[in-house]
Amino acid sequence: DAGITQSPRHKVTETGTPVTLRCHQTENHRYMYWYRQDPGHGLRLIHYSYGVKDTDKGEVSDGYSVSRSKTEDFLLTLESATSSQTSVYFCAISESSGGLEQYFGPGTRLTVT
Amino acid sequence: QKEVEQNSGPLSVPEGAIASLNCTYSDRGSQSFFWYRQYSGKSPELIMFIYSNGDKEDGRFTAQLNKASQYVSLLIRDSQPSDSATYLCAVVRPGGGGNKLTFGTGTQLKVEL
């Protein structure tokens, strides 16, 4: 357990509404990541952060924004949710010592109706 | 060509046998390789990582890396029913910042009694 929690764990929302998912870590890790997992596509990187207020895009960033105002929290916002964003969202961290290994949180299942 | 390719399976092996899971990658400059195990409805769990050519053993697991042929494999000795899961291969590609991982779509392993 890398001390990662995600909230909410499940959410159903309507098309066009904004949604924010939260990732919280307790161990002061520098790097944090947001992935989505869909059948047939595997895990795909949405955005990542390499420090407070330092973020960058991954391969599927359109329609998503992120913020990191504190080391422990990394927020993912769907600005206007669409049905194509129905997915399972995972947060991950990698340790501040520079290790490349990533450890995942429990995930959030999001359904956009 | 996908950047990281895995046979989706299912791969069925009898209990006690060796399970062999394979992964190929397209970017010859890739340096770091990871195997994750994911049970249905759960988050990915890191089980092995390998950075150098050759074999790396950890308990019943052995990761094998062949950079010349661009493949990485995972051997599971004395397979148990509890090993039944989807195994994800992941690669850190060169040129990306923040240790970004690219995942394969996973191989489903079934260990039969």
- β-bridge partners, A33: A48, A92
pLDDT of residue B80: 97
pLDDT of residue A5: 97
Do residues B53 and B67 make contact, with C-beta atoms less than 8 angstroms apart? yes
- B23 three-state secondary structure: strand
pLDDT of residue B43: 97
CB contact under 8 A, A42 and B43: no
pLDDT of residue B29: 86
Q: Average pLDDT over chain A, rounded to whole?
A: 93
Do residues B35 and B63 make contact, with C-beta atoms less than 8 angstroms apart? yes
Instruction: Place B93 in a pLDDT band, splitting at 50, 70 and 90.
Output: confident
CB atoms within 10 A of CB B24: 20
Residues in A closer than 8 angstroms to B36, CB to CB, are 104
Of A42, A50, A100, the CB nearest to B104: A42
Locate A43 and state its tokens.
């895990």
For tokens 């924004």, the residue is A65
Distance (Å, rounded) from C-alpha B50 to C-alpha B47?
11
Q: Any idea what DSSP says for residue B105?
A: -
Residues in B closer than 8 angstroms to A34, CB to CB, are none
CB contact under 8 A, A42 and B101: no
CB contact under 8 A, A102 and B103: no
pLDDT of residue B2: 79
Q: Any idea what DSSP says for residue A27?
A: S
Instruction: Place B97 in a pLDDT band, splitting at 50, 70 and 90.
Output: low
Distance (Å, rounded) from C-alpha A72 to C-alpha A30?
9
Encode pLDDT of B42-72 as tens digits.
999 999 999 989 999 999 999 999 999 999 9
What lies within 8 Å, CB to CB, of B33 at 6+ separation is B23, B25, B49, B50, B51, B63, B65, B72, B89, B90, B91, B92
Instruction: Place A100 in a pLDDT band, splitting at 50, 70 and 90.
Output: confident
CB contact under 8 A, B100 and A45: yes
Instruction: Place A97 in a pLDDT band, splitting at 50, 70 and 90.
Output: low
CB contact under 8 A, B97 and A104: no
pLDDT of residue A78: 97
Q: How far is B45 from chain A (nearest CA, A)?
A: 7
Q: Is the peptide bond before A106 cis (omega within 30 degrees of 0)?
A: no
What is the average per-residue pLDDT within B33-43?
97
pLDDT of residue B99: 73
Instruction: Place B98 in a pLDDT band, splitting at 50, 70 and 90.
Output: low
What is the average per-residue pLDDT within A72-88?
97
E strand residue ranges, chain A: 4-7, 10-13, 19-25, 31-38, 42-51, 54-57, 64-70, 73-78, 87-94, 102-104, 108-112
Distance (Å, rounded) from C-alpha A68 to C-alpha A73?
6
Distance (Å, rounded) from C-alpha B74 to C-alpha A56?
31
Percent of chain A residues topping a pLDDT of 70: 95
What is the average per-residue pLDDT within A33-40?
94
At CA B75, angle to CA B27 and CA B52, rounded to 5? Answer: 45
A86 Cβ under 8 Å from any chain B Cβ: no
